[in-house]
Structure 1
Amino acid sequence: MASFTIKVTRLALKAVSAFSPEKAGRLAFRLFSITPPRKAKSGKEKAALAAAEPVMARARPVTLSFSDGWVMAKHFQAQSAGSATKRILLVHGWGSRSNYLAPMIDGLTAGGAEVVALDWPGHGASPGRTLTMPAAVRAIDAAWRHFGGFDVAVGHSFGGASLACAAGGLVCDVPSHSAKRMVLIGAPSEMTWLFKGFGKVLRLSPGAQTALEGMVVRLSGRRLEEFDAARIVGMVTAPVLVIHAEDDKEVSAEHARRYAAAGSNVELHWANGLGHRRIVSAAPVIERINAFIHAPEAATERKLRMVS
């Protein structure tokens, strides 16, 4: 059953759409882009943030500027520096923050990697109250320029899709940035389903739905249909590890299957029983990512040739 807020929003957008579907679509996009409140909503979230403090205290804060403003990054050195330390860009999902990835940060740095964790606009220590995919891609570009590139890119949920879109160069004024390896955790494989679903919830008129989707073109120079992360992943030459749980209730397992079918460079790992959020802090998942990150390049290349 729809909440009171959704019912009121439907009525308001219906009234606006009666004289201007274009304006109704723009208003819907504004609602679509508003980020959730940052304050922990439950005792479990508060406990997770408290547990993350010792790890986050090791970070060096870095401010990254881009055309839409600035974001905060947290730079972690490897706990055991080796001769071939990997540099990892780590990005969280919608409504989250880098602090919730503390177990993964700890596991990756313990494995010998240097980690740069971003807080998206409107999330964590970064300012703002809105986030769009083009803004996320520009934030990734800012990190790339500041740190001189990354060996590995790891993203959860929205973050994973953003990394794929950045690799595909989908924002016209931003160059493509593809790491040597990519890990996508519980990530949506395309954006159309999200916009269609949002429009359905708000019962947008056809004209308002068209205007909602048209905002993507205004902000990125690309049509909504082009934001197909699975297609992009299949086109890149880098090895890609997709980790998903079949019991994920926020991002259907069908998205993981789309990624897996995209190309021989994609490896699918099921982490069933971990849902959408617990998956990023599960020790077996972190171990699997470490194994993928530090796998010998030659062995990976031989495997890809065998699958091809």
Structure 2
Amino acid sequence: MASLAVKVVRLALKAVAAVSAEAAGRLAFRIFCLTPSRKPNSAKEAALLKAAAPTMERSRKVTLSFAGGWFVAHHFARRQSAEGPRILLAHGWGSRSAYLATLIDGLLAAGAEVVALDWPGHGASPGRSLTMPQAVRAIDAAWRHFDGFDVGIGHSFGGAALACAAGAVVCDVPARVTGKLVLIGAPSEMTWLFKGFGKMMALAPATQTAFEGMVKRLSGRRVEDFDAARILGMLRKPVLVIHAEDDKEVSAGHARRYGAAGPNVELSWANGFGHRRIVSAEPVIDRIKAFLGEAEKTTHLRRIA
């Protein structure tokens, strides 16, 4: 049963659509892009942020800008004498870099340099909304500032954003392709989100078309072009996809789509960890570190050559 808030929004969108389907589509898109409150939703989340504070204090905050906004990146330098890869780390929708502190600790212990983004509307970054084109532009800004990355690791929305950035789906932003990618609990395409939101809000066909059309206005591409699985299959870069079959937010079907995209994609199940606990699960971090070790060996051999 729909909540009272959803029912109210449905009525509002229906009323606007009676005057203009285009206006209703624009309004639906604005609502769709609203980011949740940064305040912890529970005592457990508050405890996680408190526990993450010592890790986050080790970082240097860097303010980066892109067309239409700015955001904060947390830069963690490699430990002394370490030669691990430079990693771009991206959190999921409604999250923040601090919630990835356990993973960050594991990556630093493996000798990596880590740049963790707080998306616009999240964590230390300003704003109350986020779009996939904005996320791609943020990745581009970080890429230019830090002179590229060896590995990209993204959870949920962050994983899809890294894949889309690699596929140059925003027409005026160049492809930003890391040597390897790790996607954790990530959606494989964006169409399902738009269709799902339209169904939840009971959008009429004309309003749905206008709603989806906002993506083309912002990126120069259709929503169907934001297909992360197809992009990664075409790039043929090594990809590790980690997912839990009990993930209730991003179904396991997305992981299977990635797995079927091409021989360059390795699918690793982390059942029992759901959608959020997966990023701090010890077996998951160990698997990622092993993946990084493979990347580090390749880099070392290339330097010798």
Using structure 2 for the length normalisation, give the TM-score. 0.96
1:219 is aligned to 218
1:97 and 1:153 mapped to 2: Cα distance? 16
- Alpha-carbon displacement from aligned partner over 1:154-181 (angstroms, at most 9, x marks no partner): 0000000000000000001100001000
Cα distance between partner residues in 2 of 1:297 and 1:147 = 19
Write out per-residue CA displacement over residues 50-107 of structure 1, whole angstroms, 9 at most, x where no aligned residue. 000110010011111111211100000123533x321000000000000000000000
Which residue of 2 is the match for residue 31 of structure 1?
A: 31
| Aligned position for 1:8 | 8
Contact 2:191 2:223 in 1 (8 A): yes
Deviations 1:261-302 (A, max 9, x none): 0011000000000000000001110110010111157889xx
Contact 1:77 1:114 in 2 (8 A): yes
Q: Which amino acid aligns with 2:101?
A: A
1:44 aligns with 2:39: no
2:252 corresponds to which residue? 253
- Write the letter of the residue equivalent to 1:175: P
- 2:131 — aligned with what? 132
Deviations 1:107-146 (A, max 9, x none): 0001110000000000000001110000000000000000
Q: Is the 8 A contact 1:80 1:110 kept in 2?
A: no
- Aligned partners of 2:277, 2:89: CA distance in 1, in Å? 16
* CA distance in structure 1 between the aligned counterparts of 2:80 and 2:236, rounded to whole angstroms: 29
Q: After the TM superposition, which parts of structure 1 deviate over 3 Å for at least 4 consecutive aligned residues?
A: 296-300
Please state whether the residue corresponding to 1:90 is helix, strand or coil: strand
Contact 1:80 1:111 in 2 (8 A): no
AA in 2 matched with 1:216: V
What letter matches 2:293 in structure 1? Answer: H
Measured in 2, the distance between the counterparts of 1:213 and 1:99 equals 32
SS of 1:183 mapped into structure 2:
strand
CA distance in 2, matches of 1:62, 1:127: 13
Q: For the Cα contact (< 8 Å) 2:151–2:178, is it kept in 1?
A: yes
Secondary structure in structure 1 of the residue aligned to 2:115: strand
Percent of counterpart pairs with the same letter? 71
Q: How does 1:86-165 map to 2 (within 5 A)?
A: 86-165=85-164
> CA 1:196–1:49 in 2, change beyond 3 Å: closer, same or farther?
same
- Residue 75 of structure 2 aligns to a residue whose secondary structure is strand
Q: Residues of 2 paired with 1:65 and 1:247: CA distance?
A: 37
Distance in 2 (CA, whole Å) between partners of 1:16 and 1:60 is 46
SS at match of 2:294: coil
Q: Give, in whole Å, the separation in 2 of the partners of 1:80 and 1:190.
A: 40
Separation in 2, partners of 1:11, 1:72: 37
Distance of 1:114 and 1:143 partners within structure 2 = 14
In the other structure, the counterpart of 2:280 is 281
> Hey, what's the Cα distance between the residues in 2 that align with 1:281 and 1:167?
25
Report the Cα offset of residue 237 of structure 1: 2.7
Pairwise CA RMSD of aligned residues? 1.3
Counterpart amino acid of residue 55 in structure 2:
V
Q: What letter matches 1:76 in structure 2?
A: F
Aligned partners of 1:13 and 1:24 also within 8 Å: yes
SS at match of 2:103: helix
Aligned-partner SS, 1:174: coil
CA contact (8 A) 2:84 2:296 kept: no
Q: Is the 8 A contact 2:85 2:295 kept in 1?
A: no
Map of 1:59 onto structure 2: 59
Corresponding position of 1:306: none
**Cross-structure match for 1:68:** 68
TM-score, normalising length: structure 1: 0.95
Structure-2 change in CA distance of 1:281 and 1:142 (3 Å): same
Equivalents in 1 of 2:266, 2:70: separation in Å? 34
Using the alignment, how far apart are the partners of 1:143 and 1:294 within structure 2?
A: 24
Q: Secondary structure at the match of 1:182?
A: strand
Task: Give the letter for the 1:110 counterpart.
Answer: A
Residue correspondence of structure 1 range 258-269 to structure 2 within 5 A:
258-269=257-268
User: Alpha carbons of 1:296 and 1:183: their partners in 2 closer, same or farther (altered >3 Å)?
Assistant: closer
Distance 1:298 1:127, change over 3 A: closer
Q: Which ranges in structure 1 are unaligned for 5 or more consecutive residues?
A: 301-308
Whether the aligned pair in 1 keeps the contact of 2:85 and 2:296 (CA below 8 Å) is no
2: CA distance between counterparts of 1:222 and 1:132?
13
Q: Secondary structure at the residue paired with 1:295?
A: helix
Q: Secondary structure at the match of 1:294?
A: helix
**Number of residues paired by the alignment?**
299
Distance (whole Å) between structure 2 residues aligned to residue 233 and residue 288 of structure 1: 20
CA distance in 2, matches of 1:238, 1:25: 36
